[in-house]
């Protein structure tokens, strides 16, 4: 699908940053729009930076604009919201679902979501339950294709320090090769690899709801 307009939420994050870089390198996408809370230090003739309060539903819907593919890479942590579960839900549920709903109403063809391995709307784990709830909500929307990416631990250099991730990365490097069979989906994966797969499927003619775990992302 050539001549696409791609819109990215979460372009300043780990995976979203890789997605943005790849989109700007790919002339399939004639316009790349990012919705961000504050200006970013990137300039490109095909890049449109839109300052937006993503938690304001009406503003998000207005500034989303027309497009073909919406890449949703947004997410937070309990530490970032200081343990506020309502704030956590506004970012990890309300923004993705609100943006997807608006995009579907504007005729976008593709919705691409970074979720998590183990996401399940019935999970007892708050994080996995929230991710699963987002998945269930966007699956019902009238897109040509909904692509859901369920990576385990994402590898790459973040702008912030996360001790748990640093420890997890060490353990993954030591024991990752032991994760075989059903455990393969829990292997850590480079955020850049996830981004590459997202951009690739956005250019494809795949339709319906597709879920990508470790093997589907890295293969």
Report d(CA 46, CA 201) in Å as an integer.
20
Class of domain 4-218 (CATH, top level): alpha beta
Is 108 marked active-site?
no
Q: What are phi and psi of 201, to 5 degrees?
A: -75, -25
Give the residue among 61, 81, 193, 64 at the shortest CA–CA distance from 126.
Answer: 81
Which tens digit of pLDDT belongs to each residue from 50-107?
999 999 999 999 999 999 999 999 988 878 888 888 888 999 999 999 999 999 999 9
Task: Given the residues 131, 185, 197, 214, select the one marked as catalytic.
Answer: 131
User: What's the pLDDT score for residue 77?
Assistant: 83
Task: Given the residues 21, 57, 127, 210, select the one marked as catalytic.
Answer: 127
Which tens digit of pLDDT belongs to each residue from 193-213?
999 999 999 999 999 999 999
- CB-neighbour burial class of residue 90 (10 A; exposed 0-12, middle 13-18, buried 19+): middle
């Amino acid at each position: 699908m050539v001549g696409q307009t791609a819109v990215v939420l979460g372009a300043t994050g780990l995976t979203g940053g890789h997605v943005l870089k790849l989109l700007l390198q790919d002339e399939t996408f004639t316009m790349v729009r990012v919705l961000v809370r504050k200006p970013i230090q990137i300039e490109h003739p095909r890049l449109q930076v839109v300052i937006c309060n993503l938690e304001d539903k009406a503003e998000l819907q207005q500034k989303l604009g027309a497009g073909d593919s919406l890449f949703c890479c947004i997410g937070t942590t309990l530490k970032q919201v200081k343990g506020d579960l309502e704030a956590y839900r506004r970012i990890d549920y309300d923004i993705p679902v609100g943006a997807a709903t608006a995009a579907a109403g504007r005729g976008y063809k593709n919705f691409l979501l970074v979720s998590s391995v183990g996401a399940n709307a019935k999970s007892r784990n708050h994080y996995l339950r929230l991710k699963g709830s987002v998945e269930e909500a966007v699956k019902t929307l009238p897109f040509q294709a909904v692509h859901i990416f369920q990576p385990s631990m994402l590898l790459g250099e973040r702008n912030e320090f996360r001790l748990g991730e640093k420890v997890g990365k060490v353990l993954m490097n030591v024991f990752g090769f032991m994760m075989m069979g059903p455990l393969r989906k829990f292997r850590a994966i480079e955020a850049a690899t996830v981004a590459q797969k997202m951009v690739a499927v956005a250019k494809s003619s795949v339709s319906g709801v597709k879920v990508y775990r470790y093997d589907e992302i890295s293969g």
